[in-house]
Amino acid sequence: MLEHGDTLIVWKLNRLGRSVRDLITMLDELQQRRVQFQSLTEHIETTTPTGWATWHMLAVLAELERSVISERTQAGVKAAKKRGVKFGPKHKLSAAQVAYARQ
């Protein structure tokens, strides 16, 4: 268990959490417990005010990227629907098979 004064060191941020929200939550918990954080690849240290500022800027940029990806995905789905692309599972039976089964 990490305690006050300890430092959690990771090779890369993506090894710590799967999403930006997970990372922010974890780092907030570490900050509350007064545990420092260091990412070797991204050169982020929370032992300094500059390190905390860097972390928050990266978190904001990652959140922005997630929003942009979501917008692009929604636009792509909308465009595909306009082109007549069908979403969801394919029908197990053809229309002829359904008609035959109903007889």
Encode pLDDT of 43-57 as tens digits: 888 888 888 888 788
- Whole-prediction pTM: 0.54
Cα separation, 17 vs 35, in Å, equals 17
Q: What is the DSSP letter of 91?
A: P
Q: Which residue type sits at 66?
A: R
Helix, strand, coil percentages (3-state) for the chain, rounded to 5, are: 55, 10, 35
Domains of the chain: 7-86 (3.40.50.1390)
Q: How confident is the model at residue 73 (pLDDT cuts 50, 70, 90)?
A: very high
